[in-house]
Amino acid sequence: MTPSLLVLGGSAFVGHAVVAEGLERGYAVSTFNRGRLQSQPPAGVTALHGDRLDPSTLTPLGEGSWDVVVDTWSGAPTAVRDAATRLAPRAGHYVYVSSGSVYPPPLPVGLDESAATVDGSADDTDSSDYARAKRGGELAAVAAFGERALLGRCGLILGPREDVGRLPWWLQRMARGGEVLAPAPPERPLQFIDARDLARFLLDASQDGLDGPFNLVSRRGHATMGELLEACRGATAGERTTDAELRWTAAEVIEEYEIEPWTELPIWLPLGTEYEGLHGMDVERAHAAGLRCRAVTETVADTWAWMAALGGPPPVRGGIPPHGLSPERERAALSAAMRSSGS
């Protein structure tokens, strides 16, 4: 019989990848959202509509039955509770797309799923604290589905349709050409997951009946900062009138200019901070269960191809602060780096 998949969400970044993976596998796919981001669902998808913050509109979730539910919610935990409670009697497996943010700092390298998490509550109506909200969502999923709940603790997610603006910013920056402030060292190991690899793992794992928490990113060093930026340079090469030259700049200079890691220089974190574990989670449980991560060159090239096809700036989801470094601040830091190196 054809497996059935319900994606709570399903029309932005991660949800879209899950829907595409479900369709590719021949699943009968439904989505549940307000219909704001997508007026027409992809061919073959049954679109159900409602507002997760308004329980009176959740009626469609009380009517069907599904083998797998994937929930991408990142707001107040009560939305997970209200959906999961309705679905539990008629759905097989519940996959909650959680986050490594449930682990409180300091985040040492090698943190596995047994590490302590922040507190949270399934009954929390507040979403202002992201880590607490994600933990509350986890607890809500487990309360309703027990051993039929899988918690996907994702680290950094990249790939086509990214609506945060991390990889898209680096690609746009490389396309502009000139001297690019590149945070040294190039060997800095990164950890991330392509949304399409995440989608594949989540559906494989639910088919296999896996439950509990899984840290979901590549192995540490799957790519380095240097390999990522070279991949961005390579992908955008055809678009430039002047070449993009990577100027590897010491973290101390970047710090001196108060350039924010992670947001102004997206994806990058200096080595040795209390957030080191954001690029260093232990992911052996997921890899033993079949997680496979594609090459960084493919993630980068496909993201650039998606951006090019858009014909305009990539969308950024509401409430996300702008990512990237202004040309003025970049020039100032590059000049300072040149002075301090005496060249």
Ligand X SMILES: NC(=O)c1ccc[n+]([C@@H]2O[C@H](COP(=O)([O-])OP(=O)(O)OC[C@H]3O[C@@H](n4cnc5c(N)ncnc54)[C@H](OP(=O)(O)O)[C@@H]3O)[C@@H](O)[C@H]2O)c1
Residues in contact with ligand X by CB under 6 A are 9-16, 33-37, 51-53, 72-74, 97, 99, 154, 156-157, 164
Question: Is the CB of 140 or the CB of 337 nearer to ligand X?
Answer: 140
Distance CA 51, CA 61 (A): 11
Minimum CB–partner distance for residue 277 and ligand X (Å)? 14
Minimum CB–partner distance for residue 238 and ligand X (Å)? 28
Minimum CB–partner distance for residue 299 and ligand X (Å)? 13
Minimum CB–partner distance for residue 30 and ligand X (Å)? 12
Question: Is the CB of 53 or the CB of 109 nearer to ligand X?
Answer: 53
Question: Is the CB of 136 or the CB of 244 nearer to ligand X?
Answer: 136
Question: Is the CB of 160 or the CB of 330 nearer to ligand X?
Answer: 160
Distance CA 176, CA 339 (A): 24
Question: Is the CB of 16 or the CB of 173 nearer to ligand X?
Answer: 16
Minimum CB–partner distance for residue 236 and ligand X (Å)? 22
Minimum CB–partner distance for residue 98 and ligand X (Å)? 7
How many angstroms separate the Cα of 260 from the Cα of each of 192, 209, 270? 19, 41, 10
Question: Is the CB of 1 or the CB of 43 nearer to ligand X?
Answer: 43
Residues 76, 125 contacting (CB under 8 angstroms): yes
Distance CA 250, CA 248 (A): 7
Q: Measured in whole angstroms, how far is the alpha carbon of residue 24 from the centre of its chain?
A: 21
Residue whose structure tokens are 């604290």: 129
Count other Cβ atoms within 10 Å, centred on residue 336. 15
Minimum CB–partner distance for residue 196 and ligand X (Å)? 12
Question: Is the CB of 199 or the CB of 337 nearer to ligand X?
Answer: 199
DSSP state of 143: H
Residues 6+ apart with CB under 8 A from 110: 277, 280, 281, 282
Minimum CB–partner distance for residue 81 and ligand X (Å)? 14
Structure tokens belonging to residue 288? 């033993």
Residues 77, 122 contacting (CB under 8 angstroms): yes
Distance CA 175, CA 163 (A): 19
Residues 6+ apart with CB under 8 A from 329: 257, 259, 264
Question: Is the CB of 10 or the CB of 280 nearer to ligand X?
Answer: 10
How many angstroms separate the Cα of 289 from the Cα of each of 197, 200, 206, 283, 292? 13, 12, 11, 10, 9
